[in-house]
Structure 1
């Protein structure tokens, strides 16, 4: 696969994942105050379900394309007879991306499942508690993703 295509897949995946978190956290969630709590929970469950289906593709694709880009750099250095020393910011991106993927898996498998179950049972308090756990973890992932992007853009620390 050409490097340009890998970089494009990597960036598009990040746009979906991080952009979706920005939209949900800063625009959708505050706007839901006009709805009654049961409606809020039902809407957020439906929206998150659609978003998480997209992220289930985008997040592993971002991780895999990043790993392939690092692998290509390693191959190029090895082919030239050089010694590979990845810049620190590559390690930070790879480690941070792996952590983001793990946090996403936890969100999807633990609090989101609890949210779906609570909404299905009409249990508003349990749904609100599960949604709060989703929101907290999404905020963490959004902060981590933003830090990774800034590290990549600044190539810091080199």
Structure 2
């Protein structure tokens, strides 16, 4: 029962993270040119601040639940007298998930701080430049997230 609850939380956290990136990248950002630069930068700063808080929670849930599930399976295999060998799909998922978390750390703790400074200084061109960098890294993370989902669902060709 606990495994099912943690797996559900794990999946919901991933849905929030990937779904938020899809929304921001494909729906929110393309709608922004209708607004003045000051509004665009302030709006994205406010939206990203809220979203990044949710992503931090999603990362914590994903990391803790994933580690617990892997550890639980390894423990069960060991108790059955076998040696645990993590499936390749799990290894790919965990490795790329860590890469995504590191990229997010760069976005949140470096680029978003630059965006905050640009918004506070009313430097709209600097804000736009930082938003372009954020957009690039979000696209990379979105691609990695989709790849993880595909590998997890379809497997790795052998």
The whole-number CA distance in structure 1 between the counterparts of 2:117 and 2:80 is 55
Query: How far apart are the structure 2 equivalents of 1:157 and 1:68?
Result: 27
Q: Tell me the secondary structure at the aligned position of residue 110 of structure 1.
A: helix
Query: How far off its partner does 1:52 sit?
Result: 0.5
In the other structure, the counterpart of 1:129 is 129
In structure 2, runs of 5+ residues without a counterpart are: none
Moved segments of 4+, more than 3 Å: none
The answer for the alignment partner of 2:7 in structure 1 is 7
Choose 105-114 or 124-133, whichever is displaced more: 124-133
| Structure 1 unpaired stretches of 5+ | none
The two structures have a TM-score, normalised by structure 1, of 0.96
Report the alpha carbon displacement of residue 155 of structure 1 after superposing the two structures with TM.
2.1
**How far apart in 1 are the matches of 2:53 and 2:84?**
37
Partner of 1:45: 45
TM-score normalised by the chain length of structure 2: 0.96
Residue correspondence of structure 1 range 89-128 to structure 2 within 5 A: 89-128=89-128
Q: Distance in 1 between matches of 2:155 and 2:6?
A: 19
Q: CA deviation at 1:45?
A: 0.5
Aligned residues: 158
Aligned partner of residue 60 in structure 1, secondary structure? helix
Question: 1:36 deviation in Å?
Answer: 1.1
The Cα of 1:90 is off from its aligned counterpart by: 0.7
Q: CA RMSD in A?
A: 1.1
1:80 maps to 80
**Residues 89-125 of structure 1: per-residue CA shift (max 9 Å, x gap):** 1100000011111111110011110001101100112
Q: Does the CA contact (< 8 Å) of 1:119 and 1:127 recur in 2?
A: yes
CA–CA distance in structure 1, aligned partners of residues 85 and 56 of structure 2: 32
